[in-house]
Amino acid sequence: MEELVWEVDHEADPSTFIYVLGGAAPAVSIRPGTLIRTSTLDCFGGRVRSASDMSSQVCDPRYLNPQTGPFYVEGAEPGDTLAVHFVSIEPREAWGVSTTVPLFGSLTGTPTTAMLQPALAERTWIYEIDKTDRVVRYAAADTPFTAALPLDPMHGTIGVAPNLGEVRSSLTPGDWGGNMDTPEMRAGVTAYFGISVEGAMLSLGDGHARQGEGETCGVAVECAMDTVMIVDLIKGSPTPWPRIESDDFLMTTGSTKPLEDAFRISHQQMVRWVAELTGMSELDSYQFVSQAALSPVANVVDTNYTMVCKVPKSVLPGIDAMGGMHARMRARAAQ
């Protein structure tokens, strides 16, 4: 298995990073099957470091959610599927940050949910990340309350170049992946993305030490990440919307507004995937998924919302999804 160590300059000028999916020149070319060791900046590019730093004051809104990549995957063509297996995702530092951002979040007025009342107060919280005890330590700003929350690192943003030559902000999720902000994108899973352009142009960023489902205030425990992943190809097999496979679940995603349409996309995709895997009719698969699925909310704060549909593999014995790619990736990771 080839290995690539791709270094990221965490002290570089924020304007030198990529903030879009699509339209950017490849940073490096890799072969299918390559193991990549790399890192990502947090969504603020490391500029929010203390409780006195307000993101609206220290960040340029043009430079939010910097991406590592894009990685050009040799042999990747439209109609193929890119498989990305996360071997490990680990916080790079011993701290993370969360904030309230003016006119952003699910429980405040926003530019598209226009209200007359002023924005919520801007506030910054610094979390201690304890990688030994595997917790993030929360401390309230207005009272002495503290809590230890389980460390659960994941990537909020990962995807490929969109279709039709589009260039999309790294803050936006869609059928190319992007800023889906699902806690399911953690170490041990394999994510699948339909390829629309030659080389796929894989990018990732937006590390979260942990995040509640929905990312309610719009900002998780944001942190720089050290990430190891294996990237491979499934030739001649399109994937309409991003999928995720863990040892225990098959998952499909949908990203749009309103939220119920994101729910519909994720469940429609699961119905069709289960029908394909089992040979059932679409209507039988619809009935099956209706009784078997879980529906975690990924985000209700981004420019598009994201829903996930999960079906346990235990109710689909003997099913070999995506040609057994996840099992092969797990075996490679174990090496």
In this structure, the answer to whether residues 61 and 158 fall within a common structural domain is yes
| pLDDT score at 1 | 86
The tens digit of pLDDT for each residue in 200-253 reads: 999 999 999 999 999 999 999 999 999 999 999 999 999 999 999 999 999 999
In this structure, the answer to whether residues 215 and 249 fall within a common structural domain is no
Last residue of a domain, one of 202, 234, 266: 234
Span 42-57, mean pLDDT?
96
CATH of the domain at 86: 2.60.120.580
| pLDDT score at 94 | 98
Residue 189 predicted with pLDDT over 90: yes
Distance CA 243, CA 265 (A): 12
Q: Residue 225: inside a domain, yes or no?
A: yes
Q: In whole numbers, what is the pLDDT of the chain averaged over residues?
A: 97
Closest to 232 (Cα-Cα) out of 184, 192, 188, 203: 192
Stated pTM of the model = 0.96
| pLDDT score at 118 | 92
In this structure, the answer to whether residues 170 and 310 fall within a common structural domain is no
Q: Residue 51: inside a domain, yes or no?
A: yes
In this structure, the answer to whether residues 55 and 201 fall within a common structural domain is yes
In this structure, the answer to whether residues 228 and 256 fall within a common structural domain is no
Q: Residue 74: inside a domain, yes or no?
A: yes
Q: Residue 124: inside a domain, yes or no?
A: no
Are 207 and 224 within 8 A, CB to CB?
yes
Span 125-154, mean pLDDT?
98
In this structure, the answer to whether residues 230 and 272 fall within a common structural domain is no
CATH of the domain at 255: 3.10.28.20
Distance CA 81, CA 238 (A): 6
In this structure, the answer to whether residues 159 and 226 fall within a common structural domain is yes
Q: Residue 135: inside a domain, yes or no?
A: no
Report residue 326: phi and psi, to 5°.
Answer: -60, -45
Q: Residue 121: inside a domain, yes or no?
A: no
Span 270-291, mean pLDDT?
98
Q: Which domain holds residue 37?
A: 3-91+154-234
Q: Residue 123: inside a domain, yes or no?
A: no
| pLDDT score at 260 | 98
In this structure, the answer to whether residues 78 and 164 fall within a common structural domain is yes
3-state secondary structure of 112: coil
User: Is the sign of the CA dihedral 165, 321, 208, 72 positive or negative?
Assistant: negative
Burial 96-131 (b: 16+ CB within 10 A, else e): bbbbbbbbbbbebbbeeeeeeeebbeeebbbbebee
Q: Name the CA radius of gyration of the chain, rounded.
A: 19
In this structure, the answer to whether residues 279 and 221 fall within a common structural domain is no
The tens digit of pLDDT for each residue in 80-112 reads: 999 999 999 999 999 999 999 999 999 999 999
In this structure, the answer to whether residues 165 and 307 fall within a common structural domain is no
Last residue of a domain, one of 234, 262, 291: 234
The tens digit of pLDDT for each residue in 1-15 reads: 899 999 999 999 999
Residue with tokens 């174990």, as numbered in its chain: 334
pLDDT band, residue 265 (cuts 50/70/90): very high
Last residue of a domain, one of 234, 258, 287: 234
In this structure, the answer to whether residues 218 and 315 fall within a common structural domain is no
Summary count for the chain: helices (H), strands (E): 4, 21
Domain count, the chain: 2
Q: Residue 122: inside a domain, yes or no?
A: no
In this structure, the answer to whether residues 288 and 166 fall within a common structural domain is no
